Amino acid sequence: MTRNVCLSLLLSLVFVSNAFSQNIFELKGKNIILTSDKIAFGWKNSYHDNFGKIYNAESLKKYKFSSKNLYKGDIVGKPLFVNDVRIINQSNNKKKAILISFDTHSDTLVMYLPLYLKTNDYIGGFRVDVEVNPEEISLCYHNCDEINRTKNQIQNKRFYFKGKNELFIFDNISIEKDLLCVQYSDKTSQKYQYYISAYSTNYRHNNNSFNTFTSSILFEDDLISQCKQKYDNAYIAALTDSLLNKEIYLSSGAKRGFYICENISIENIGTKEPCYNYIFTLRQEEDIIKLPIQNDMSHIVLADIYREEQRIKEEQRQREEAEYQSMLEKEEREYKASLIKKYGKKNALLILENAVQIGFTKEMCVEAWGEPYDINRTVTKNGVHEQWVYDIGRYLYFDGNILTAIQD
C-alpha cells in the first residue's frame, strides 16, 4: 500500500500570512529583473520541475495551469512589474500555491509556485512529498526601482571609501546576469568595479544590497556639508569680504611675508582619511600655500594695515631711540662737568678718552680704566707698593695713592 508522507522543509508546518509577507510577498508593487528561471526552495536550495513555471494570463481565469497556457518566451533579464502576489487554495494544503503576476511591456504573466510537491522519492515504501515553506522560496532578482533610484542619487558623485583618502567618482550601475556592477573611477580615470549580488526572497540568504556598499563610503558632498556646519556663515562671509583678492601679511609660521589671497574654499586637507576644511589659498609670485581657516586668524592681516602698524612702531622706536640718545648725551655732559670740577679740564679730557698718566690718583685711574681684575700689594720699609692687573700685558703701579708707572 502506498501512502503519501509530507516532509516540511521547516521545523514548523504552521504558516500565517504575516510570515509570508516578510519575503516573497514584498515583491508586490516592485519593478524587478529575474536573474534565473529556476526557482529554488528549502534550506538546501532544492528544485522541482513543476515549481516556478510561467503561464499566460488565461491561466488566471479558473486557475488552470495546464501545458497549453505555458508561456513560451523568456522573462529572465527583462524588466517586470509585480502587480500581485497571492495565495490560492489556502484551505487545501495539497493545492495551495503562490501566484506571482507580472506585467511585461506587452503581456501579463503568472509564475506558479505550488506549496505541495509530489516527488518520485520513496522511503520504506512510502512516497516522500514536499511541503514548501514560502519563507524559503529562493526567487533571485534585481530591484529596478532601487537601481534607478540609487543611480540617480550617486551618478557622477564623488566619494571616498571609509578609512582611505583616495577620491573616486561614480560612473554607472549595470546588470551582469545575477550581479549588479557599480562602476567608478579615480582621478586618473582608472576604472574599478564593485559587484553586488542579487536579492533573494529566501530569508536564510544574506542579501548584499546597495546599503552594504553605501555604508562603506563617504560622499564628498556630505563631508563638505559637515564642514560648513562647523563654521559660522557670517564669519566666513566677513573673511571673504575683507581678504579675498587682496594683499595680506602672514605673520606666523615658516613662510611669513606678503601674499595675495587668491581664494577661500573648502578643500580636503586630510592625510590618511578625508578632512574637509575652509582654506585660504595664498600666492607669492610662484609660491602657493594653503592655510586652514581657524577661529583665531589674527596672524593674517591686510598688507596696508600691517604696513601702517609697522610705520607706527618704527616711529615709536625712533622716538624712544632719540630720547635714549638725548638721555645719554645729558648724562655724558653731566659726567664730564663733574670730572672737570673734580680733576680739572686737562685730566678730565684724558679720563674721558680712557687714558691715564703718571701722577694720577687711584680714583682717577678707576675713572679712566675701571676697576682692576687683580691687585698685587708689596709692603716695604719705604711704604706700600701696588700692581693693578688689567688686560693681558696692561699694568699700573702705585706708590701709595699715586700712579708711578704704566705697563701697556
Please check whether residue 381 lies inside any domain of the structure.
Answer: yes
- Are 209 and 278 in the same domain? no
Please check whether residue 369 lies inside any domain of the structure.
Answer: yes
Percent of the chain with pLDDT strictly greater than 90: 69
pLDDT for the residue numbered 7: 33
Three-state DSSP class for 315? helix
- Are 185 and 102 in the same domain? no
- Are 8 and 124 in the same domain? yes
- Are 90 and 151 in the same domain? no
Name every residue whose Cβ is closer than 8 Å to that of residue 404 and which is 6 or more positions away in sequence: 358, 397, 398
- Are 89 and 188 in the same domain? no
Model confidence at 5, pLDDT cuts 50, 70, 90, reads very low
Mean pLDDT of 4-33: 54
- Give yes or no for residue 100 having a pLDDT over 60: yes
Please check whether residue 322 lies inside any domain of the structure.
Answer: no
Mean pLDDT of 136-162: 90
Mean pLDDT of 277-289: 93
| pLDDT 10s digits, 383-408 | 899 999 998 889 999 999 999 999 98
- Are 149 and 125 in the same domain? no
Please check whether residue 363 lies inside any domain of the structure.
Answer: yes
pLDDT for the residue numbered 208: 63
Domain finish residue from 89, 120, 138: 138
State which residues form the domain around 371. 344-407
Percent of the chain with pLDDT strictly greater than 70: 93
- Are 296 and 277 in the same domain? yes
- Are 132 and 170 in the same domain? no
- Are 16 and 119 in the same domain? yes
Please give the residue that has the higher pLDDT: either 277 or 128.
277
pLDDT for the residue numbered 46: 86
pLDDT for the residue numbered 21: 30
pLDDT for the residue numbered 10: 28
- Give yes or no for residue 319 having a pLDDT over 50: yes
- Give yes or no for residue 119 having a pLDDT over 90: no
Mean pLDDT of 183-199: 93
- Are 48 and 119 in the same domain? yes
HEC states along 68-116? HHECCCCCCCCEEEEEEEEEECCCCCCCCEEEEEEECCCCEEEEEEECE
Q: Which amino acid is at 370?
A: G
Please check whether residue 379 lies inside any domain of the structure.
Answer: yes
Query: What gap in Å lies between CA 359 and CA 368, rounded to an integer?
Result: 13
Please check whether residue 321 lies inside any domain of the structure.
Answer: no
Domain finish residue from 118, 138, 158: 138
pLDDT for the residue numbered 62: 84
- Residue 375 sits in a domain whose CATH number is 3.30.1450
Query: What gap in Å lies between CA 270 and CA 224, rounded to an integer?
Result: 13
Half-sphere exposure of 39 (CA within 13 A, CB side): 25
pLDDT for the residue numbered 155: 86
- Are 123 and 49 in the same domain? yes
The C-alpha cell at 319 is 622716538
| pLDDT 10s digits, 258-268 | 999 999 999 99
Mean pLDDT of 276-280: 95
In the chain, how many domains are there?
4
Please check whether residue 319 lies inside any domain of the structure.
Answer: no
Name every residue whose Cβ is closer than 8 Å to that of residue 191 and which is 6 or more positions away in sequence: 171, 183, 184, 185
| pLDDT 10s digits, 72-98 | 999 999 999 999 999 999 999 899 999
- Give yes or no for residue 346 having a pLDDT over 50: yes
Please check whether residue 316 lies inside any domain of the structure.
Answer: no
Eight-class DSSP state of 189: -
- Are 18 and 123 in the same domain? yes
Dihedral (C-alpha) 200, 205, 210, 213: value to the nearest 10 degrees? -150
Domain finish residue from 77, 107, 138: 138
Mean pLDDT of 163-188: 93
| pLDDT 10s digits, 192-235 | 999 988 888 887 765 566 777 888 999 999 999 999 999 999 99
- Please state the pTM of the whole predicted model: 0.65
Q: What is the mean pLDDT of the chain?
A: 88
CA distances to 249, 280, 302, 315, 316 from 308, in Å: 12, 23, 10, 11, 12
